Structure 1
C-alpha cells in the first residue's frame, strides 16, 4: 500500500538556488503606503527568555495516540488501494494565477519589506467558501526538495459546509514556477474502527510535512493530528455528504481524503498551538511551535520545539518516551504577541537558532510585522517614509523554509507567496 516513488536523498549544506530570487516583482504603490494610524507593538520586545522550570515546560508535553493499524487497513480495504501524491497532482483541476494576474487588492496583502519574489493567487471560487491557513512543502518533507519526482506545496484551508467545519489541503504541483496547478483533499478521521470517517473540523493554523507524515493543528490548538501521505484515498461518490454513503464514500465533492493515523494532544489545560513549522538546522530535525497570545494580553508568548524520531519504524513521528509522551527540547518566552507564523533556523557557523515571528495586523486591512529574535536581542524590518515596522503581510499564515532553495513560503488570504530567507535577514540587519 506504500507509494515508493520518492527520493530519500540527504543533501545537507546544499548551495541555495539564487536564480529564484531574481524574479522579484514590484508591489503596487498602495501597498507601500502604510498609515501610521495603525496600531503598533512595542518598539523593542527584547530578547528571548529561556524557560527551564518544570512548571513552565510540563504543560507542553504531548500524549501520542495512534490509530490501530487494523482500522486503517479496514478503511483501505473498503475504499481501495491508497494512491500516491503524484496521482493527486496529476488530477489537478485548478490553476493558481501568477502575480501579474492578481488584482491590486490581492497584491496589497503582500509584504512591503522585504518584498516577495514570487506570488500566486487562488481561484476565486475557492476563496469565497473557505479561509486559508498554513503552508508546508516537499522541501520540508525531504531535504532534496522533492517528493518522488515532484516539487509540491501543501496549503491548509478550512470551510464551513452544512454548519460543519471541514479542514482541507490543496495539493499544489510546483514543478513549473510559471504554472502552479492544484486539487483538493479533505482531512478526515477514521471512526467505527475504520468502517467510516468524519471530516476533521478545524481551522489549519499550523502544518508540517515531514518524511511521509503531515502534522496539522486542530481542536482549537489543543492537538496535532497526523496524516500519512502514503494513505491518501480516492472517493468514489460525488455527494455533499462526508463518509460512507450508498455506493461508496464521499467527501463533500472532493475527490480525495487524507485519513488521520494518529494525534498528539497537549497535556496542559491552558497550552495551545497557534503556529508550527519544521527546523532542519537542528540534530535531529525538530518541530517548532508558538502559542496564541493576543496583543492586549500581558502574558508572554511561548515558543518551543520537539525532536522527530530517528527510528525507521516511526518515520515522520515525534520522539517519545516509553510511555508515549513527547517532551519539549527547549522553550522560550517572547513579548511579541499575535504570532501567526513561526520559524526557527540556525545558519551554518552560528552558535544559536534564530526565531522568525510573523505578527498579524491589529486591523482588518493593515500590515503586520516580522521579527527575528534570539537570546541576545531582536530585530525587525522597517519601511515607508515614516520607517514603520508594519511591513509584513497583515494576515500571513505560517512560515515554511524550503531548505533546498532557501525560500520562505507563506500565504495571506488569497495570495501564496515566497521570498529568500537571506533577503529577510538582509532587511532585518
Structure 2
C-alpha cells in the first residue's frame, strides 16, 4: 500500500482547488421554503477571542495512553493476523444511492446555501436504529487524497439517542473511486479488554473523526466521554461470526453484524474537572506546519458561557506516525485556543486564519447555521425570502476538508454530501 510519512507543506492561504465540474445538484428537498419558526436570524457570535492564560489552556492538555503491545499481540494471536484498510475496501458489499434516487424526506436534510454539489443517501434498512456521526476521508490520510491508490470516505454511525447516549459505534469504509458508484463495508470500533483476551464495543456516539497517516482518531461522548481514541488502519481484524454480540463468542469472534473490527491502540484523555471541556467535533488542518488537529466542544444554547476551540500539532517523529506531539510527560498541549459565542457547535474546521463552525438546529426539523469566524468577526450565508442565516443542514453536520479536491464533506440524517469550500466564501452575506 502506498503511504507517505512525509507530507508536502502548503503555504497558508494558497489558492483553493477548482470546484468539481458541473452545475450544483438540483436538490428539490434543499429548496424547501424555510418555515417561520426557523426564520429568526441567529445571534451574531462576533469575533474569536484568543485564550492566552495558562490556566485556560491547561484544561485542554491531553494525556496519552498506549494500549500495551502484549494486549494487541494476544488479540492478534487469537483472531488471526490483522489486515489493513485495503482489505476492508476490497470487501465492500453495500451501495450508497445518488441524490436523484434518494427519498424527498432524506434530501430535506441537505443545506440550502451553499448547495451540495455531490450527495448520496444510505438505505433505511442498513441504518435503522443508527444515528450518523463524523466524516473523514483519504484527503486527511494523505495529502495526495488517496490511500492505496483509492479515494476513500469514512462515515461513523452509532446506536442510541441524544448527545450522551451510549451504544455500538461503527465506521463505513466507502470506496469513492467512482463518484457514480459508492460502495462500502462496516467495521466495528472496539476497545481491548481483559489484557487483550477480548474486546468490547466503543460505547459512544462518534462526534468527531480524523484519519491521519495510518491512524484514525475518534472522539467519544456518552459513557466514554472526554476521550480521543486512536485506531490503526493496518490493524483490522475479521469477525468470523455473524451475530449481534460483540467480542469472543462460541465459534469465534463477533462484531454486532460488522465483518471487520478495529481495536483501539491508544487514547488521549482530558484532565477532567468542572471546567474541563468535553471533546466534540474534530478535523484536520493542513494549512499549519506541522499539520494540526482542531477541536471544539459543544455548549448548549441555554448555557451562559462561550464555546472553546483549540488545536494540537501532530508529531513529526516517524516512529509516532499519526499521533499527536507530546512532551516529556506524555501530554499533548494545545497549540492555540479561542472562545466563541457560537453555541451548539456540531462541526469544526480550520484553514488559514478562518474557522468554520456548523451550528446545530434548535429543533429536530430545523436548520443549522454555518459560520465563518476569525479574530475580526463572523459571517454566515443567508437564504430564503427573509434572509435567515439558518441555511445549513440541521443534523450531525461534521466538517472535513479534502484539500486535494477543495471539497468540504459532511453528513446529516441519511445524506452524505460535499461542496467546494470556495462556495462557502461566495455564499457569505
Q: TM-score range by the shorter chain?
A: over 0.9
Q: 1:16: Cα distance to partner?
A: 5.5
1:72-111 alignment to 2 at 5 Å?
A: 72-111=72-111
The 1:307–1:361 alpha-carbon spacing in structure 2 relative to 1, beyond 3 Å, is: same
Give the match for residue 392 of structure 2: 392
* TM-score of the aligned structures, taking structure 2 as reference length: 0.94
Asked if 1:292 corresponds to 2:319, the answer is: no
Asked if 1:354 corresponds to 2:354, the answer is: yes
* TM-score of the aligned structures, taking structure 1 as reference length: 0.94
Asked if 1:277 corresponds to 2:279, the answer is: no
Give the match for residue 240 of structure 1: 244
The 1:62–1:164 alpha-carbon spacing in structure 2 relative to 1, beyond 3 Å, is: closer
The 1:113–1:219 alpha-carbon spacing in structure 2 relative to 1, beyond 3 Å, is: closer
Pick one of 246, 254, 269 that aligns with 1:250: 254
Pick one of 177, 192, 197 that aligns with 1:195: 197
| SS in structure 2 at match of 1:140 | helix
User: For residues 219 and 292 of structure 1, what CA distance do their matches in structure 2 show?
Assistant: 11
| SS in structure 2 at match of 1:139 | helix
1:193-232 alignment to 2 at 5 Å?
A: 193-220=195-222, 221-232=225-236
Cα deviation digits, residues 302-361 of structure 1 (max 9, x gap): 000001111011100000011111100101000011100000001xxxxxx200000011
Instruction: Identify unmatched segments of 5+ residues in structure 2.
Output: none
Q: Is the 8 A contact 1:31 1:107 kept in 2?
A: no
| SS in structure 2 at match of 1:75 | helix
Cα deviation digits, residues 214-271 of structure 1 (max 9, x gap): 1111143401000000001111122222111122211122110000001100013232
User: For residues 425 and 373 of structure 2, what CA distance do their matches in structure 1 show?
Assistant: 11
The 1:152–1:30 alpha-carbon spacing in structure 2 relative to 1, beyond 3 Å, is: closer
The 1:164–1:219 alpha-carbon spacing in structure 2 relative to 1, beyond 3 Å, is: closer
Q: 1:104: Cα distance to partner?
A: 1.1
| SS in structure 2 at match of 1:106 | helix
User: For residues 241 and 27 of structure 1, what CA distance do their matches in structure 2 show?
Assistant: 39
1:334-349 alignment to 2 at 5 Å?
A: 334-346=340-352
Q: Is the 8 A contact 2:191 2:199 kept in 1?
A: yes
User: For residues 208 and 30 of structure 1, what CA distance do their matches in structure 2 show?
Assistant: 28
Instruction: Identify unmatched segments of 5+ residues in structure 1.
Output: 347-352
The 1:371–1:363 alpha-carbon spacing in structure 2 relative to 1, beyond 3 Å, is: same
Q: 1:56: Cα distance to partner?
A: 1.1
Q: 1:29: Cα distance to partner?
A: 6.2
User: For residues 111 and 397 of structure 2, what CA distance do their matches in structure 1 show?
Assistant: 12
Q: 1:94: Cα distance to partner?
A: 0.7
Give the match for residue 118 of structure 2: 118
Cα deviation digits, residues 261-283 of structure 1 (max 9, x gap): 01100013232011111101101
User: For residues 115 and 38 of structure 1, what CA distance do their matches in structure 2 show?
Assistant: 18
Q: 1:164: Cα distance to partner?
A: 6.8
User: For residues 33 and 180 of structure 1, what CA distance do their matches in structure 2 show?
Assistant: 30
User: For residues 204 and 379 of structure 2, what CA distance do their matches in structure 1 show?
Assistant: 33
The 1:148–1:178 alpha-carbon spacing in structure 2 relative to 1, beyond 3 Å, is: same
The 1:296–1:39 alpha-carbon spacing in structure 2 relative to 1, beyond 3 Å, is: farther
Q: 1:9: Cα distance to partner?
A: 7.1
User: For residues 175 and 9 of structure 1, what CA distance do their matches in structure 2 show?
Assistant: 24
Q: 1:127: Cα distance to partner?
A: 2.3
Pick one of 169, 172, 175 that aligns with 2:174: 172
Q: Which moved more, 1:371-380 or 1:219-228?
A: 219-228
Asked if 1:309 corresponds to 2:315, the answer is: yes
Q: Which moved more, 1:380-389 or 1:245-254?
A: 245-254
Q: Is the 8 A contact 1:27 1:112 kept in 2?
A: no
User: For residues 19 and 45 of structure 1, what CA distance do their matches in structure 2 show?
Assistant: 29
User: For residues 30 and 164 of structure 1, what CA distance do their matches in structure 2 show?
Assistant: 31
Q: How many residues align?
A: 419
User: For residues 258 and 371 of structure 1, what CA distance do their matches in structure 2 show?
Assistant: 34
User: For residues 34 and 203 of structure 1, what CA distance do their matches in structure 2 show?
Assistant: 29
User: For residues 369 and 23 of structure 1, what CA distance do their matches in structure 2 show?
Assistant: 23
The 1:57–1:10 alpha-carbon spacing in structure 2 relative to 1, beyond 3 Å, is: closer
Cα deviation digits, residues 118-154 of structure 1 (max 9, x gap): 0000111122121100000000010000011111100
| SS in structure 1 at match of 2:190 | strand
Q: 1:52: Cα distance to partner?
A: 0.7
Q: Is the 8 A contact 2:169 2:206 kept in 1?
A: yes
